[in-house]
Chain A
Amino acid sequence: MERSQFETSLSVPQAPSERAAHVILFICGFVSVLTTIGIVLILAWESFQFFQVVPLRDFLFDTQWTPLFSEKHFGIAALLSGTLLTTVIAILVALPLGLSAAVFLSEFAHEKVRRVLKPALEVLAGIPTVVYGYFALTFVTPILQKIVPNLSGFNALSPGIVMGVMIVPIIASLSEDAIYSVPRSIREGGWALGSARLATIIRVVIPSAYSGIAASVILGFSRAIGETMIVTIAAGLQPRLTFDPRVPIETMTAYIVQVSMGDTPSGTLEYKTIFAVGMALFLLTLVLNLISFALRRRVMKGSG
């Protein structure tokens, strides 16, 4: 009854202000779609021009990246290896810390402790990355140089570790949600079979929260790949196809910054390289974000 009255009130002719509001607000909402379209078009257009000059084969299989030198090579692998190296180091730091923090927050911490520690942890994700870069270069690297022999002043290890600390809250927060959403009945099943609390957490709860934890790791991976300033400041701006964490390297993001700092005239091949690299970066993070999103959706469905 109520519903039908409401429906009829909707079919009453709308005031002009009502219509205008509807249209204007829709446009605001649509700006975000235009942003995505803009990003895709711009990256695609400039990359297309880039690949008119540089064959895709060279881009994918050349092992050197030297667009700024006289003898030019365009092998993205040299930048990709730097990116993967710092990212893997970051995940190796962030996963154990983040997951343990999530277990503590969801399984052991009292509500009061949780309410203090969780926002405190989130502060880590809000520190500007240029600050982390400073910290990596002037504090962490000198300490690491005393521990790790032959560690260069610019290297992948130090920014990787610092980046790992930065993404701990991402992994902790999403993993905690996943662990939290494991139904109590599953835990009780574990206890009923005589399993201790610890064994239940490790053998039952964490495996049940697997999708959510994987989602958090993949999202952390994507963040680390897209992170720019820490690696620009502390990793060295030297593209190199290597998996040695002690030597200077360059990531995809740092290359874009490096070219942007010089006054590169638009239309040149150098200018186009940053869009080609940007395209690779965009696709990589997009795929990871979509996988992470799909996994999280599975978690939400499972708990609901």
Chain B
Amino acid sequence: MTPLLEDDINLIEDPDLVARSLDERIETAFKAICFLALLLPLMLLAVLFGDVMLDAIPRLSLDFIRNFPSRLPIRAGILPALVGSAWLMVLTAAIAIPLGVGAALYLEEYARPGTLTSIIEINIGNLAGVPSIIYGLLGLELFVRVMQMGRSLLAGAATLALLVLPVVIMSSREALRTVPNPLREAAWGLGADRWQTLRRVILPMSVPGILTGIILSLARAIGETAPLIALGAITYIDYLPDSVRSKFTALPIQIFNWVSRPDPEFHLNAAAGIVVLLALMLSMNGIAIWLRIRLQKRANW
């Protein structure tokens, strides 16, 4: 017994070992700090959600969704903004989906490596980093002024479509890449040309993946404020848009309008608007996640 105990004591006094256990303690502390750094933003996110929810409660009611904006904060609702956002989403999707998926198909299935292809690719990467307010300036000059669309839903949707296009293209390309090459080669081997292969084999297989990307980018677009303001979307509207030429407002613009008023009563309206906006975004994200899970199940065939 005794020699062993002595050994233990020797071990503990071994300066190298003491140093090592100190190192270990520092490492644990470091690990904890890194973990906290990761948790801190997430906790802030939770606080943000909680804070907005609490502020929103006094305003959240059916009337809030059914009413038009008003000078009285209690009576002010988001109906025109909600309808405007719905119109914008549908129109943006109608413009961005064919263009984005088309571009992805071109780059993945048709383009041969060359200068032009790499120009298009680098350009898409760069566009993804252009601040959204710049797209607003583009829309203001190109759609509102030169193409004479006015400050209409169509101009807004066209601007948002260009804004989300890089993301739609990149996510669609990723979805197309998941289709295994042997399937393409099998179709070609059966005498199908590229277009037939695309339409009958590749597109049907990659649709869930493409849809996921599209829904996620539309969920982004629904929260975009700056480009629509630059475009001149109005903040007060007392009618519902009835055509693509109508002037419009949208959820984030209505929220911005309420936040920027000095009367804190209106801030509660902004909070309620934020809850509606986040609920819409989260349900869109939920649909996208559900689609992705289905896709993964199918991919394991």
Shortest CB–CB separation between residue B110 and chain A, in angstroms? 6
Instruction: Let me know if B41 and A33 touch, CB within 8 A.
Output: no
- By size class, the interface of chain B is 35 or more
Shortest CB–CB separation between residue B251 and chain A, in angstroms? 9
A105 cross-chain contacts in B, Cβ below 8 A: 38
A-B contact pairs, 24 of them (CB 8 A): A14-B193, A25-B105, A31-B103, A31-B165, A38-B142, A43-B134, A43-B137, A101-B34, A103-B34, A123-B45, A128-B225, A138-B267, A196-B24, A196-B27, A219-B129, A226-B134, A227-B131, A228-B226, A229-B256, A256-B226, A257-B133, A257-B229, A275-B137, A278-B133
Instruction: Let me know if B131 and A253 touch, CB within 8 A.
Output: yes
A198 cross-chain contacts in B, Cβ below 8 A: 23, 26-27, 30
B255 at interface by CB-CB < 8 Å: yes
A225 cross-chain contacts in B, Cβ below 8 A: 131
**Interface segment, B4-12, B47-55, B69-77, B238-246?**
B47-55
A111 at interface by CB-CB < 8 Å: no
Shortest CB–CB separation between residue A226 and chain B, in angstroms? 3
Instruction: Let me know if A278 and B256 touch, CB within 8 A.
Output: no
B218 at interface by CB-CB < 8 Å: no
Known: A14-B193, A121-B38, A222-B129. A32 touches B166 (CB 8 A): yes
7 smallest CB-CB distances across A and B, nearest first, come from: A226-B131, A128-B223, A28-B102, A100-B37, A104-B34, A25-B106, A228-B226
A29 cross-chain contacts in B, Cβ below 8 A: 102-103, 106-107, 111, 120
With the chains together, A121 CA to B140 CA distance in Å? 34
Partner of A22, one of B42, B44, B110, B252: B110
With the chains together, A147 CA to B129 CA distance in Å? 36
B165 cross-chain contacts in A, Cβ below 8 A: 31-32, 35
> Interface code A124-137, partner B: CB below 8 Å = 1, 0 otherwise?
10111111111101
Residues of B within 8 A of A (CB): 20, 23-24, 26-27, 30-31, 33-38, 40-42, 44-45, 47-48, 51-52, 55, 98-103, 105-107, 109-111, 119-120, 123-127, 129-138, 140-142, 145, 162, 165-166, 169, 188, 193-195, 198, 219-220, 222-226, 229-232, 235, 252, 255-256, 259-260, 264, 267, 270-271, 274, 277-278, 281, 285
Shortest CB–CB separation between residue B93 and chain A, in angstroms? 15
Instruction: Let me know if A120 and B42 touch, CB within 8 A.
Output: yes
Partner of A108, one of B23, B26, B35, B198: B35
In residues 274-301 of chain A, which contact B (Cβ within 8 Å)? 274-275, 278, 281-282, 285-286, 289-290, 293
In residues 15-57 of chain A, which contact B (Cβ within 8 Å)? 15, 17-18, 21-22, 24-33, 35-36, 38-39, 42-43, 46
Shortest CB–CB separation between residue B36 and chain A, in angstroms? 8
Partner of A42, one of B27, B30, B37, B141: B141
Query: A26: nearest residue on chain B (CB-CB)?
Result: B106
A285 cross-chain contacts in B, Cβ below 8 A: 129-131
A69 at interface by CB-CB < 8 Å: no
A261 at interface by CB-CB < 8 Å: yes
With the chains together, A105 CA to B289 CA distance in Å? 22
With the chains together, A97 CA to B43 CA distance in Å? 13
A145 at interface by CB-CB < 8 Å: no
Shortest CB–CB separation between residue B238 and chain A, in angstroms? 17
Query: B19: nearest residue on chain A (CB-CB)?
Result: A196
Instruction: Let me know if B34 and A263 touch, CB within 8 A.
Output: no
Known: A130-B223, A131-B48. A100 touches B38 (CB 8 A): yes
A77 at interface by CB-CB < 8 Å: no
A15 cross-chain contacts in B, Cβ below 8 A: 193, 195
B124 cross-chain contacts in A, Cβ below 8 A: 32
